[in-house]
Structure 1
Amino acid sequence: MYAVSNVIGSLVFGNRLDYGSERLKKYMEIIIESFEVMGISGVLTVFPFVRYCPGDPFKCRKIHQQTKFMKNEFREMMQEHRAELNSTGEPKDLIDAYLREIEKNKDMDTYFCEDQLVQVIGDLYGAGTESSSTTLRWALIFMLHNQEVLFKVQAEIDDILGGRLPTMMDKQKMPYVEATLSEIQRMGDMVPFSVPHCTTEDVSFRDFFIPQGTMILPNLYSVHHNEAHFKDAFKFDPSRFLDDEGCYRPIKQLIPFGIGRRVCLGESLARMELFLFFTSLLQRFSPSLPSGEELPSLTGTLHITNEPPPLKVIFSARS
């Protein structure tokens, strides 16, 4: 999780945080707790009045405090960037680029503003850190459960990379790795219910009338486990994403990042992270269970993301 957050931090803030820093530790604690608590506080979406109950039974006040803390942190970073902003040089990160866009559009009616930038930073850094690290943990669990897939993945990695580090240019040469990552995302269902959307007008759909302004929660789990699109949908089988020649074959019903104009903001970054982390890890190590440990469950715990169970794993260096 720390490593994934630093990749995003490098792009958004322009720097990494030391793994031992209290600041990074605080950020990670808030992200972890927020995603856990938001699963409980989801009842407020249906029954908003319960926020006025004595105490804080659904942790909504705690979420508010944590959100406020992170937004203040992001605003401080923005002010530091604004003070150092050089309009003639290349922007060094997303904050620089966005601040320039705000300045460029200051006399126009646009969505480019500091409040929107704070929200974008929060979405990329918070959601991106948690979801990508959760996917990688599910990847380890599925590799422990499917040793034959693990061996095929490592064989393809060795064949294409040898001993050098992977790059994104290698992805198209590694169809089995890509197929395996696709199957991990399908079976792990890291975000089984997509980010809430809202109808902008009245809609009639399959005998249902959905009025304008209705919150819509797309059920991605039902799509990813639909037998009409994925034969033996509850079986882990990367080969479903390969054609007869062994080339990667995308299936359009695989939509872990959602679809349409409101697709996940960090999709391209997440796909890069998953490929590079997964490939690098299995290039250098073979995961296995400690003696006496049982295979971890394939049933997760649903908060906002589908959290995998805790697990103990040994990483043995590959020769």
Structure 2
Amino acid sequence: MLSCVYGYKASYPHDPLVGVMEIATEEMAEAALPANFYVNIIPWLKYVPSWFPGAGWKRKANEWRANKDRAFNEPFDWTKSQIAANLAAPSIVNNLLAKMANKEMRSQGNIEEEEDVIRWVAGTLLPAGSDTTVSSMSTFILAMILHPEIQTRVQKELDAVIGDRLPELEDRESLPYFEAVLKEIMRWRPVGPTGIPHVCSKDDTYKGFRIPKGAIIIPNIWAMSHDEAVYPNPQDFNPDRFLDLELPSAPVFGFGRRECSGSHFAQSNLFILASTLLCVFNVVATPGKPAPQAKTNTSSLITYPLPFDSTLVPRSESRRRLIQEWLEI
């Protein structure tokens, strides 16, 4: 995502900019869960000064805001410096800044204001697209370890369709079982089980229930994704259910005008990552380590499986070389 949004390629595991983004993303996800802070339930608490006993949440909020500002500013400023040095790689920010720099954009308003919009749009894209992908891929790896027979079935389909190359997006239509697996991943352990909280813009009534203006609406996506009337035995990981083309996908990307605008990107990203993983590797539990469990954390807007150990074993020497060559491009 850093490469896509900013043209920044992390060169090693503990890249400092990656660390900045990870910290801010984790904090924003935790802050977005209304039940984590009493001020979301008792609004007048926002007037309590930060030095007041018991107001540690306010000091934490100030610290998290500073981390969020770093995450929005540092990669954006880095891309601007790359553009100034004529070294910038293609990216969303590079493209938007280039459009802003032309005469038409200059005539439409203040350039600093336009830059600020781009800064915040880019900063919003990154946590929305990176943390969710990590969550889905972690669940995918967990499911493949817990269900090796499903992993084998997916690999047989991939081998039959793709052969000795890496997957491409054009392969999706030819991989119905793998598509069913990805749908089941998103249903079985939805990335955002409570969805994104929204505020009701005006008084409304739904099925006899009055929803006042200003009320916080929290969609229970977990319950919808585990509705036995729609998905029998919902706690079971069963991709076969989605081979029935009439079965609706779980509503994990939201609803209506507020549906996730990056849903197609997220699904494509998950497809490429997961299919490449199983084309090249066998995913197994790490010998001598505790067996993974199908449990998730519940303290953040975005959920992850509880920490577990896994090992990637190359399926063959030729496939190991294949991924190595791709990484060196």
Which TM-score band applies after superposition, normalised by the shorter structure?
0.7 to 0.9
Q: Are 2:12 and 1:32 aligned?
A: no
SS of 1:261 mapped into structure 2: helix
Deviation of 1:95 after TM superposition, in Å, equals 1.7
Structure 1 unaligned spans of 5+: 1-7, 86-90, 244-248
Matched, 1:19 2:12: yes
Quick one: distance in 2 between partners of 1:45 and 1:116?
Answer: 27
Work out which of the residue numbers 246, 265, 275 in structure 2 matches 1:269.
265
Structure 1 residues 34-83: Cα deviation after superposition (integer angstroms, max 9, x where no partner)? 43565574433223444534462473222112112223225524644775
**1:307 Cα offset (Å):** 1.8
Q: Quickly say closer, same or farther: Cα 1:292–1:219, change in 2 above 3 A.
A: same
Tell whether the 8 Å contact from 1:175 to 1:242 is kept in structure 2 after alignment.
Answer: yes
Letter in structure 1 aligned against 2:308: L
- Are the structure 2 counterparts of residues 38 and 203 from structure 1 closer, same or farther at C-alpha, using a change threshold of 3 Å? closer
The one of 41, 44, 47 aligned to 2:42: 47
Find the counterpart in structure 2 of residue 10 from structure 1: 3
Q: Is the 8 A contact 2:7 2:79 kept in 1?
A: no
Do the aligned partners of residues 290 and 97 (structure 1) sit closer, same or farther apart at CA in structure 2, a change above 3 Å counting?
closer
8 Å CA contact 2:285, 2:292 repeated in 1: no
CA-to-aligned-CA distance 1:132-151 (integer Å, 9 cap, x gap): 01110111111111121111
- Pairing 1:1-319 to 2, within 5 Å after superposition: 8-20=1-13, 21-36=15-30, 39=33, 41-50=36-45, 52=48, 53-54=52-53, 56-57=56-57, 59-77=60-78, 79-80=80-81, 92-99=90-97, 100=99, 104=105, 107=108, 113-243=114-244, 249=245, 251-302=247-298, 303-319=300-316
Cα distance in 1 for partners of 2:115, 2:217 equals 27
User: 1:236 offset after TM fit, Å?
Assistant: 1.0
**C-alpha contact 1:144 1:295 (8 A) present in aligned 2:** no
- Residues 282 and 136 of structure 1: CA distance in aligned 2, closer, same or farther (over 3 Å): same
* Residues 75/317 of structure 1: CA separation in 2 closer, same or farther (3 Å cut): closer
Counterpart contact for 2:20–2:67, Cα < 8 Å: no
AA of the residue aligned to 2:67 = Q
User: TM-score, normalised on structure 1?
Assistant: 0.83
Residues in 1 aligned to 2:172 and 2:69: alpha-carbon distance in whole angstroms: 39
> Shift in Å at residue 225 of structure 1?
0.5
CA RMSD of aligned residues (A): 2.8
Q: 1:214 to 1:117 in 2, by over 3 A?
A: farther
| Cα distance, 1:182–1:250 mapped onto 2, change above 3 Å | farther
- CA deviation after TM superposition for structure 1 residue 194, in Å: 1.2
Equivalents in 2 of 1:256, 1:131: separation in Å?
Answer: 11
Question: Sequence identity, in percent?
Answer: 26
Q: In 1, are the aligned partners of 2:200 and 2:213 still within 8 Å (CA)?
A: yes
Q: Distance in 1 between matches of 2:144 and 2:38?
A: 35
Q: Is the deviation greater in 27-36 or in 269-278? A: 27-36
- Contact residue 201 and residue 212 of structure 1 kept, 8 A: yes
Q: Deviations 1:284-317 (Å, cap 9, x if unpaired)? A: 1111123343432212112111121111112111
Tell me, yes or no, if the aligned pair for 1:199 and 1:212 is still in contact at 8 Å.
yes
Distance across 2 between alignment mates of 1:138 and 1:250? 25
TM-score, structure 2 normalization: 0.81
Question: What is the rounded CA distance, in whole Å, between the counterparts of 1:250 and 1:171 in structure 2?
Answer: 18
Alpha-carbon deviation of 1:125? 0.7
Q: Structure 1 pair 251/98, CA: closer, same or farther in 2 (3 Å)?
A: farther
Number of residue-to-residue matches in the alignment:
300
Deviation at 1:119, TM superposition (A): 2.8
Secondary structure of the residue that 1:191 maps to in structure 2? Answer: coil
Query: Does the C-alpha gap of structure 1 residues 293 and 122 become closer, same or farther in structure 2, counting only changes over 3 Å?
Result: same
- What amino acid maps onto 1:19 in structure 2? Y
5+ long unaligned stretches in structure 2 = 317-329
